[in-house]
Amino acid sequence: MGVSLWLIPPAHMRQKFKEIMDNPMRFGAVAPLDRFEPHITLTTIDSSDPNYVKILRDVIPKIGKTSVRVDFDYVGMEETYFRSCFLQARSTPELELLMTKINEALGIMEPPPKFPHQSVFYVPDERSRERTVLTSTLGGGIGSQQLKAWSYDATHIAIAFCDGECKDWKILECIPLVRPAFVNSSRFSFFNHAIPTGIIEDEARHYRLAKSMSLSSIIMK
């Protein structure tokens, strides 16, 4: 696939999404599915360029936002692996501008497919019947209030290496939309990289804690 910029939820929401995403059999899957981090893809570039991390990192200061609101409208499904079951985010001027600024800076004209959406399950084609079951079960168990509870303010973007299978994907860096002046400029990630100070350190700690927590509930409160 390449290397992508992902808009990612804050740590407390990441844990709630993962409680669902990592347990597809509770929603009708006949066997486990590939695991991945919750995200909204903003853009993807070719991984063959050796400078892909710098290219994507340099785009982020051009955004000029401290946070971006994400609200969801419905649970959707398409007959394709990467949109097997997803949360369709509301297409707001704020989100569209974020995606457009990034892609224009990279010289990319086409937006990501079905933007903006946040995938919940990736179901392989040989198990395509499960897409309907998962989407129906998840979508049928929630209402407008539940969708509202899943909303979040995204403050960070991840650089994700997405070549190969999902199990091989790696988040290389996680960067605030706008880096505060009092935070050092070192690179960092919430996933096995150096952690900076202040606000970002706190958020990183929550992410690591979230990854270690056991399943507390399946449907979000």
Element (H, E) at 140: helix 129-140
In a domain, residue 187? The reply is yes
Position 217 pLDDT exceeds 90: no
In a domain, residue 85? The reply is yes
Q: Is 213 helix (H, G, I), strand (E, B) or coil?
A: coil
In a domain, residue 160? The reply is yes
In a domain, residue 220? The reply is no
CA distance 64 to 124: 38
In a domain, residue 152? The reply is yes
Predicted confidence (pLDDT) per residue in 150-168, tens digit: 999 999 999 999 999 998 9
* Residue 208 confidence class, pLDDT cut points 50, 70, 90: very low
In a domain, residue 139? The reply is yes
**Domain extent at residue 156:** 3-212
Count: domains in the chain: 1
* Residue 180 confidence class, pLDDT cut points 50, 70, 90: low
* Total-model pTM: 0.81
HEC string for 93-113: HHHHHHHHHHHHHHCCCCCCC
Q: Which residues contact 172 (CB under 8 A, 6 or more apart)?
A: 3, 53, 158, 159, 160, 161, 189, 193
In a domain, residue 218? The reply is no
In a domain, residue 221? The reply is no
CA 143, distance to chain mean position in Å, is: 22
Q: How many CA atoms lie within 13 A of 152 on its CB side?
A: 20
Please provide the average confidence, as pLDDT, over all residues in the chain. Answer: 83
Q: Output the domain CATH number for residue 16.
A: 3.90.1140.10
